[in-house]
């Protein structure tokens, strides 16, 4: 099986270097080569990869509105979906572990692009279309763009514009919002702090996922819903919530739902997450901000840990856990504790009950009474 995977990876790298795939067509337009295929309806074009022509003037990428007389309506890698993502539009791996597979010439050429103009008629971007593109570029979004705006997260663009005729999105203070200003989708510019505009009610899923440029974000009193992984794994982000917000509050660097007791954002301070009292449940989609985690302190109020609650924690080679309640939290679904020989501290007289309760949460845990 490993040989098959290795062979597939080799073929994948060769394909990246050539800029073509077995099923798609390729055409040079201006100073760029476009790999494309038919869009799902069969009559329009889906551009799946763009390759700059080395040695040409590639400072401006103006994507064509038509290829072979057919409208370009979609942009992004074929294997880029919400659940399965590998490459951005330039064939660059978005996984840090796989970045060494990307030819250096591709990385060098993409860095020379300073301006990207999307075509009128474009309706859709795949979720990671522009992921990990170097900062400092400008981009203009057409009025026809309908989805997926999440393709524009983790970017530090110099300037972003949205055609005023766009019926779904608008720009305000560097933020991409829904047309009516009720949903915050992303912040794409280079300021270190941002205030989400008053009137926003929802922060979209993955809105600031992996955005390591931002240091401080202010959430207004009007926000009543923060979706899963909204703040992802930002390394140094501090989140401030308006004192008059009736739905969320900040305590010990964490963002908590006032109504459900759910931990929304776990703030890491000097390697430690101290989950506040009143948090009753840990659910999938929790954001972790503040860098590497070495210790998690659970509150006495914790009642339940649900599946994949720590799915974005990532760097969990060895974490120290401290439980303060004499009653272990219940496990729901495939809930787990990231561990590799981790030590779990529990109240005196509870080692036996915790051993029984935690054996399904993780392997190789060392439980110590404290």
pLDDT tens-digit map of 121-153: 999 988 778 876 756 678 888 999 987 676 565
pLDDT for residue 290: 86
334 confidence band (pLDDT: 50, 70, 90) = confident
Q: How far is CA 198 from CA 17, 127, 192, 224, 242, in A?
A: 47, 27, 19, 12, 10
Measured distance between the N- and C-terminal CA atoms of the chain, rounded to whole angstroms: 45
Asked if the structure places residue 160 within a domain, the reply is yes
Residue-number span of the structural domain to which 147 is assigned: 25-167
pLDDT for residue 335: 80
pLDDT, averaged across the chain = 82
Number of domains forming the structure of the chain? 1
Burial 233-262 (b: 16+ CB within 10 A, else e): bbeebbbebbeebebbbbebbbbbbeeebb
Average confidence (pLDDT) over 166-186: 90
Cross-strand bridge partners of residue 297: 274, 322
pLDDT for residue 38: 85
Geometric angle at alpha carbon 298, from 297 and 299, rounded to 5°: 120
Average confidence (pLDDT) over 200-228: 87
Pick the range with the lowest mean pLDDT from 15-24, 36-45, 71-80, 278-287: 15-24
Asked if the structure places residue 216 within a domain, the reply is no
Asked if the structure places residue 232 within a domain, the reply is no
Asked if the structure places residue 136 within a domain, the reply is yes
Between 56 and 165, the higher pLDDT residue: 165
Concatenate the DSSP letters of all residues of 68-90 into one string.
Answer: TTEEEEEES-TT--SS---B-TT
Cβ neighbours for 154, distance < 8 A, ≥ 6 positions apart: 131, 132, 209, 210, 211
Asked if the structure places residue 358 within a domain, the reply is no
Asked if the structure places residue 330 within a domain, the reply is no
Asked if the structure places residue 155 within a domain, the reply is yes
Asked if the structure places residue 8 within a domain, the reply is no
259 has pLDDT over 50? yes
pTM, 2 dp: 0.80
């Amino acid at each position: 099986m490993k040989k098959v995977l290795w062979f597939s990876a080799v073929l994948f790298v060769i394909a990246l270097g050539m800029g073509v795939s077995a099923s798609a067509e390729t055409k040079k337009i201006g100073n760029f080569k476009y790999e494309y295929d038919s869009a799902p309806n069969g009559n329009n074009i889906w551009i799946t990869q763009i390759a700059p022509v080395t040695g040409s003037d590639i400072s401006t990428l103006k994507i064509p509105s038509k290829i072979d007389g057919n409208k370009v309506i979609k942009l992004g890698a074929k294997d880029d979906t919400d659940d399965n993502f590998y490459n951005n539009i330039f064939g660059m791996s978005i996984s840090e572990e796989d970045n060494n597979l990307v030819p250096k010439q591709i990385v060098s050429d993409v860095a020379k692009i300073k301006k990207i103009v999307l075509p009128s008629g474009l309706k859709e971007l795949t979720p990671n279309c522009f992921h990990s593109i170097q900062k400092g570029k400008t981009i203009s979004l057409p009025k026809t763009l309908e989805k997926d705006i999440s393709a524009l997260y983790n970017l530090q663009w110099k300037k972003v514009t949205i055609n005023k005729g766009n019926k779904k999105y608008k720009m305000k203070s560097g933020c991409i919002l829904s047309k009516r200003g009720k949903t915050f989708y992303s912040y794409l510019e280079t300021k270190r702090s941002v205030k989400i505009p008053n009137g926003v009610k929802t922060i979209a899923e993955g809105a600031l996922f992996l955005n390591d440029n931002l240091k401080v974000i202010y959430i207004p009193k009007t926000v009543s819903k923060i979706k899963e992984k909204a703040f992802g794994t930002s390394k140094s982000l501090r989140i401030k919530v308006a004192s008059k917000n009736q739905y969320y509050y900040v305590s010990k660097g964490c963002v908590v739902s006032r109504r459900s007791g759910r931990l929304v954002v776990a703030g890491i301070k000097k390697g430690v997450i101290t989950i506040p009292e009143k948090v009753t449940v840990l659910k999938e989609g929790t954001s972790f901000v503040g860098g590497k985690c070495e210790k998690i302190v659970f509150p006495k109020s914790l009642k339940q840990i649900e599946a994949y609650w720590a799915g974005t924690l990532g760097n969990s080679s060895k974490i120290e856990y401290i439980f303060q309640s004499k009653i272990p939290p219940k496990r729901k679904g495939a809930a787990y504790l990231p561990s590799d020989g981790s030590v779990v501290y529990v109240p005196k007289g509870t080692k036996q009950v915790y051993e029984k309760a935690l054996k399904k949460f993780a392997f190789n845990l060392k439980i110590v009474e404290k």
